[in-house]
Structures are given as C-alpha cells and as structure tokens.
A and B are shown apart, each in its own frame.
Chain A
C-alpha cells in the first residue's frame, strides 16, 4: 500500500542576500536539509525538535505553502513539488493545517460562520442553507454551539478559538491535517481537551496527522511514530514507544531527559543528560554530524563524517556514530 504522504530528501534553503541594486547570495539558511518521512493513512506522525530546527518550515514545504528548493513530496501518489497553483488547488482540499496561535490565525473581521464556511463555498462543497447547516454541524462536532455561527473571534477564549481552527481545517473533509504546535499556546487543562478532541476526530474521520510540537509528553500521547529533528535534519525516526523506551540518538536522549517529570522523587533519582550551549545557526551548520558540538559522546569521526540513517530494530532508524541504548 502506498503511504498517504511520502517525503523524500526534501530541502528548503533560504538565500541570504546582500547588496541593494545588485543582490548577491552570500549564504543560505539551511532550514530543511534533506528530510525523508512517510505517513500512512489514519496514522499520526509526531515531529519534535527545538525552536529553529526547521519543523515549521518542513510543514510549510510539505504543503507547498513555501516552494521547496529540491526533493519530492508525494501525496496520495501524486508529486506535489513543481505543480502549478491551479493543479494544486484540488489537492489542497485534502491537506489542511492547524496553527499554533489561535489569536492570529483567525481573521478578526470575519464571523465564525464565514471563517469555517468560506472554504466549503470556494471549493463548491456546499452553499446557502446547506452550508450553514454543515458549519453548525461542525461547530457542534468540535464542542462549540451552533449559535456561535454569527460571533467574531474576539468573543472566544484561546481554547475555543483553537476549536474554531480545527473546525475550519475539517470543513473540507481532508485526509491529512498538519498541526503545527496546536496546543502549545493553551493551558494544560485546555490542552487535554484539544488533544482528546483531535484523537476523537481522527477516529471518526480517519484523518492522518503530522503533529508538530515541542512538548514531548503530548507528542508521545498522540503519535504512532515520531521523528526527531535537529538543525534541518531528521536524526531519529521510530515507533513512539520504541523511541521513548530506547532512544538511540544522543540528541533524543538529551531531549527526553531534559523534560521535567511531575514527580519530585523520581525526578531527583533520574539520570540526566544536560546539554551545554545552544543550537548552532542553520546558516552555518557544523560539519560532520550536526549535533557533535553539543554531544557528550562526540569523537573525531563525528566532526568529519556525517552519519547516515541506519536501522536499530524494525521501523527504528537513527543517524549517529555513537548510538545509545543498543543492546
């Protein structure tokens, strides 16, 4: 069976230009630098990594919201890279996005009914009274009330706005939803509501999620598979339980051990890998393994040779010269 989404060797570089009249390229921000992923139907792929590692750019490049520099994105068997806007339009129906910030991702001058209904109207799925009924069904489905139809975004709380964003994404009955940090702006109790809602909707509509978050607990909760990104590259790609039980890449180890656990005694007893320093700049990534500047296990080979992805068990791959937790 072909996967719903197949990303291979996707690259997105942003040129750094200098000069006023004659612009020259003086460098490149290697935001996404050769990423390969697959996502099956009805599956959730979690994407984790620190800020600036290219998670959001990867999402945008997959959805062709920003044209990739090279590589391929196959969605439902069709190659998206290089398609014209006109060719893409019918496919866009099938792939929708949920954004992080529920405040800036809704047009403050439109009513909720328009925000959710306009995409259906534009794609010719419904109109008139039928449109209104379908919007109200959706509102009901995401835990809002039908009478919210005529309200404006500012009348809602953060959690409710995120529900509106979810309803808008669902309006076109997509197959794929790319959720870029959908719960990070929300309070924990509301986070749980939204995470549960996303799971229910997945079961009901058979959705596939590409779920981006920096909260490793939430990612573990929702994902079937998880990819760990560092400086524009995927360093580990694994089934969720396998990754959390047996992280191979030192970066995955460090990320997991940096998460404070809400259990004071266990927290104290835990062995921690605390990383020194910050993520290097993606405009000038380190040679060899990109993580070697912060890696406690780095050796000479790491500074010169870039490790390739290799397998450490079924469906568990990592790119490292000094893998951890290999029995």
Chain B
C-alpha cells in the first residue's frame, strides 16, 4: 500500500508495576493502519490486545504504567502528548467502542443527553443543533424511532441497541479511526451479525478505518482486511485476511484455527487443542513465547525469534523454515 498510514504504532511497550513484579503486557508491537482499512487484532485473554488498543488513545496512562515506543496519528506523536491535546484527538480523530455497552453508558442520564454533552464538549454548537445531530446519528446506526429514543435511559435499550448507541456516540465527531474492543462479544449471534454489518457499512461509506480487537476468528474473516495475531504481548503473525486464513505461518495461528468447532467443515471426533495455557507475563519464557505449547519446537526456539518477512508483507515470528512449515502445517 503506497498510501501514508493513518496510524502508525512502532515498537510499543507497555508494562504495569504490580504487587508481584513488573508485568510486561505489550512487548514491542508495531503495525500500520491505512485510511479506510479494517485491521483485526486477534488473540486470547491476556495477550495484550486490549492494552494495545487502550494505549493508542492514552487510556492506560497511570503512575504504575510504563509506556515506550511510539504511536503516531497522521505523523503526530501521541505517546508524549499532554492530556488536553490528547483529549482533542480522542473522539475527534480516534474514537473507541467497548465490549460492554451497559457499563460504558451512564445509567442515570438519558442517552440523547449523553451524546449531546459529548458533542458540545468538543464543538461550539447550540443544544438544539447538537440534539438534531444526535437524532441524525441514532438514525444512521439504525435505531428505530430516534426522535423518541433520545429521551430513553440506557436500561431501556437491549444490548444490541446499546452497542448501536455507543457506535453513534463514537461517530459523533466524525473520527477517521474507530477502535472497537470486542464490540460484539457480549451480543447474541443474530445481533452480532447486525452490528458487524453496520461496521462494514460505515467502513465503506465513510472510509472509516477500524481497529477491531476480537478473539473470534469468524468475526475476523467476515470484516477484516488485515489481521495481526498476538500472543503473550507480542505480534506472532501479521498478514492480509487471506494470508492468515489460507496460508497461516505461525504454529499458534494453526492452533487457533484448528481448535474452532467450525460449521463449514464436517464434524470431527476431536477438536485439535493447544496444550497447556499461555505463559505468565510477569515472567515470560526467554526464547519463543509459544515454544512451551508448540508441537514443532526445536533447539533454536530457546532464542527469541524475530518477526520476519517471507518476502512479502506477511510477517511471522517463528524459527521454522518456510519449507518445513509447508510440510507440517495441519
């Protein structure tokens, strides 16, 4: 892609000081997000995908957090930015949608007022104009009867409708990037399909770039252009959606794909499982972090493998040679 990236993350490291020691949640993550691109960040709980997402907009800042590396938005460095300047970026340029729409809305205010307040905090508009804009936004995310619904409280909405409200709020200032952290995980499949369709429409119609954090490879296959697979704080594979699903290169990605009970394949007797559990980030393995669970580990895995090219834009963090992988890949 020749276009200048919208968002560039370079060697991002985030660690938290805890009672048990320093927890390295994100350990050298780099990726670019092009305008209008949907980038999925996939991984299991505790792999650092949410911390990465939250760090992009400075939400992990605290006295116990150490952040290094760089996050640039349209060439502007965000990691060292002051809180006020960052607040202007948040919402205006980069907006977020979270997993749990119930706890992201204030239960004691009408949803319309929450969106109006958000618009007026950033834009110099009258209440009336902000209210009109709110109705327009609720319409655009498919909330029926928006004129009346602006006066409803969050508890009067279903989970899917609440998530639509959150998306409407995120879109209020017309950001260029939407970071969606597990936006459909708490929803039923039929509602998930509605929300994914909405995200895909927004991406197409407004050229909205999306960073989608998820653990669900089905969701990834449905909406993503590019995929980053994370394991234990690091990116282990990075490629286009076709690379990841049709020629995955990292044994962890093989494991993830293999352990799915898929509707599009004949039933098998047993699911392929990845043995063991992810390592503790307080004391990760010194070599390849996946080696202790990997069926293909060999001597060299004592050393940490780099995130390498196979010539193109498809990266993976594994010592196995391409020819060996082609042979052993399930």
Contact = CB atoms under 8 A, between A and B. Distances in A.
Contacts of B258: 192
A261 B221 contact: yes
A22 to B, nearest CB: 27
Contact of A266 (B219, B220, B264, B273): B264
Most buried by B among A159, A199, A240, A267: A267
Interface stretch (B99-107, B110-118, B188-196, B296-304): B188-196
Contacts of A262: 217-218, 220-221, 245, 257, 260, 262, 264
B152 interface: no
A272 interface: yes
A187 B45 contact: yes
Contacts of A298: none
Given A220-B263, A260-B216, A264-B241, A189 B256 contact: yes
B98 to A, nearest CB: 18
Contacts of A272: 193
Contacts of B190: 50, 254-255, 258, 274-275
Interface residues of A, number: 47
B239 to A, nearest CB: 12
B313 interface: no
Contacts of B193: 257-258, 260, 272, 274-275
Interface string B223-255: 000000000000000000110010000000001
A70 interface: no
A256 interface: yes
A126 interface: no
Interface in A38-63: 50-51
B41 to A, nearest CB: 15
A214 B255 CA distance: 22
Given A199-B270, A258-B189, A278 B160 contact: yes
A192 B189 contact: no
B191 A278 contact: yes
Contacts of A189: 44, 255-256, 259, 273-274
A157 to B, nearest CB: 5
B222 interface: yes
B262 A192 contact: no
A272 B197 CA distance: 11
A261 B261 contact: no
A196 B273 contact: yes
Contacts of A254: 190
B198 to A, nearest CB: 11
B160 to A, nearest CB: 6
Contacts of A275: 190, 193-194
Given A192-B272, A278-B158, A216 B245 contact: no
Contact of B194 (A188, A218, A274, A279): A274
14 contacts: A216-B189, A217-B260, A220-B261, A220-B263, A259-B189, A261-B221, A262-B217, A262-B264, A264-B221, A264-B245, A267-B222, A278-B158, A278-B161, A278-B191
Given A189-B44, A214-B189, A260-B221, 14 more contacts: A188-B217, A189-B256, A190-B277, A196-B270, A217-B261, A220-B261, A220-B267, A258-B193, A260-B218, A261-B218, A261-B221, A262-B257, A262-B260, A279-B158
